Homo-oligomer: A and B are copies of this chain.
Amino acid sequence: MANKLRIIPLGGLGEIGKNMMMFEYGNNSLVVDAGLMFPENDMLGIDYIIPDFRYLLSKKDTVRGVIITHGHEDHTGAIKHLMAELDAPIYATPLTRGLLEVKLRDAKMHQDVSLNTINAGDRVHIGPFDVEFFHVCHSIPDGVGLGITTPAGLIVHSGDFKFDHTPVDGWPTDYAKLAEFSGRGVLALLSDSTNADSAGWTPSEAVIDPAFDQVFRDAPGRILVATFASLISRIQQVANAAFRHGRKLALVGTSMVENARMAQKLGYLEIPDGLLVPTDEALKMSPKKVAIMTTGTQGEPSSILGRLSEARNRQFDIIANDTIVLSSHPIPGNEEMVHRTINKLLQRGARVIYDPIAPVHVSGHASAEEMKLLIHLTKPQNFVPIHGELRHLTQHAAIARAMGLADENIAVVENGTVLEFQDGKMSVGERIPGGYVYVDGTGVGDIGPGVMREREALAENGFVVVNMRVKNGQMLGTPELISRGFVFVRDSEELFNSAQEHIAKVAAKANGDLRQKVETALSEFFYSETKRRPMIFALVNEA
């Protein structure tokens, strides 16, 4: 055990290794990222999901530090849950740190957590882990990858990355550092697999500028650009376009305003003096003189764009000749909501521009050719695809295999599977308990498959409660029926009357277990009448 390095991706079968990873060497360990996952469409009522990190907590005394590679929710969103249990310092770049501080302050934990600022290029010893941070391009500034020198060897962790030769902030991924790693010998490369099924090379952020120029030239009225609040480079690009085309810019929505303010303060966003105007001022200006940025690209009904699409926004409405740009892609699972929002905006008379209508968004993740470049730059002995569903890892592994890596030097593992490195060799170790933990309201992990199945059944067919009064084994009067989600009650008088008669017949014949007999009989009755199976609960009250 003493000279064995263990790497453990934590979480369920989702994006493997994306939300949280643990590096373990003897009695020392290091955590990389603490993110959340968004619930899928059939995870009913769930707010978000965090990794099951019970294994990590069973070794909490060994944790020497927590590194957050960048400021996206899927890498930061579980930080309050993790830090509530852990006493270890966090390491993050300035922008990432700023975003973490907001989260910790909201959770009233900022006093109790030690936050260390690091910068790309820094080298920090965290227990036996000698960590070199290198800059990577991604769809948020200040992202880093990691070179982690351990007694077992050097591990390179890509973070979320792309190789953008013309990034908006002029700061490309650190090729020199990657090449330097290869000179030293890389025991294993852990690399972002998100876009493994995209051939070629992800377009540079720079391709968006001409697309925006076109939009700004053609727009007959106001321009509203929706994007992610964390996409600071996009705010920069829209600000630049507004400046070039003589429009003022207003930012709308708390998260975007706050992120922009922080990014400006920290020097990640440079907005020309006088360009930004308050929203109410922008709304009074000539439509051709103004651009507005906001969030809501995922079709969230409560977002500003969602409210605009249904004329439920308080401050302003869609007006004729508005041009709305969705500078984003739908997060998988959100396609329907996004498309519905676009349709509704078109219904209100807006022009709506989105990829693929025009190249107003590009991915923040490497495509296949960039993945190959990373492998060639680092020349790893072993390769571990991370940050993707199993299908992405499998495809990323196929790419590595095509480049000459042998099968025994490639490990496609799921969250909860331990990878071991000893004497220069990689092997797949034990499985630790793992999976998703659902967060719903203040409940963390109390919603399991049982409650989820109940929600599914209720969503499918609703329920009926039968309230009976009974004396000496005889039902008194007519039972009260309450239903929701089953049928439209006002149009179903006949159905419910027949049900009550049916219950009376069953109750008259029943000797013993009235509750069970009524529930079974009523379930059959409703199925034969409606081909639906609501949940049924009979209550027997002794009068």
Contacts and interface: CB of A to CB of B under 8 A. Distances in A.
Contact of A488 (B357, B451, B462): B451
B463 A455 contact: no
A428 interface: no
A120 B34 CA distance: 61
Interface stretch (A126-134, A226-234, A437-445): A437-445
A113 interface: no
A43 to B, nearest CB: 10
- Which of A199, A343, A461, A532 has the most CB atoms of chain B within a 10 A radius of its CB? A343
Contacts of A441: 530-532
A122 interface: no
Interface in A417-473: 440-443, 446-448, 450-451, 454-463, 465, 467, 469
Interface string A339-352: 11011001100001
A473 B285 CA distance: 64
B394 A346 contact: yes
A357 to B, nearest CB: 6
Contacts of A40: 336, 340
A539 B539 contact: yes
A407 interface: no
A432 to B, nearest CB: 17
Interface string A1-38: 00000000000010000000000000000000000000
Contacts of A42: 41, 336
Given A13-B347, A443-B532, A455 B462 contact: yes
B465 A459 contact: no
Contacts of A486: 451
Interface string A43-68: 01100000000000000000000000
Given A336-B41, A356-B198, A443-B532, A484 B467 contact: no
A110 to B, nearest CB: 22
A333 interface: yes
A339 B332 contact: yes
A402 to B, nearest CB: 13
A458 B443 contact: no
Given A339-B332, A482-B537, A543-B542, A347 B458 contact: no
Contacts of A456: 459
A463 B451 contact: no
A246 B348 CA distance: 58
A484 to B, nearest CB: 4
A465 to B, nearest CB: 6
A458 B485 contact: yes
Contacts of A537: 465, 482
A401 interface: no
A365 B387 CA distance: 34
A45 B461 contact: yes
Contacts of A271: none
A450 B488 contact: yes
A474 interface: no
A139 to B, nearest CB: 20
Contacts of A270: none
A465 B535 CA distance: 13
A286 to B, nearest CB: 25
A305 to B, nearest CB: 14
Nearest to A394: B346
Interface in A382-407: 389-391, 394-395
Nearest to A458: B458
A414 interface: yes
B390 A346 contact: yes
Contacts of A442: 529-531
A484 B535 contact: yes
A541 interface: yes
A343 B391 contact: yes
A197 interface: yes
A491 interface: yes
A415 to B, nearest CB: 12
A153 B389 CA distance: 55
A487 interface: yes
A306 B120 CA distance: 46
Given A336-B41, A531-B441, A465 B462 contact: no
Given A45-B459, A339-B391, A487 B451 contact: yes
**8 closest Cβ contacts across the A-B interface?**
A441-B531, A459-B459, A458-B458, A454-B485, A455-B485, A44-B459, A45-B460, A541-B541
9 contacts: A40-B336, A45-B485, A343-B391, A352-B391, A455-B460, A463-B484, A465-B537, A480-B539, A482-B537
Given A45-B462, A342-B391, 10 more contacts: A41-B41, A42-B336, A44-B459, A44-B460, A45-B532, A442-B529, A451-B462, A451-B486, A458-B462, A484-B535
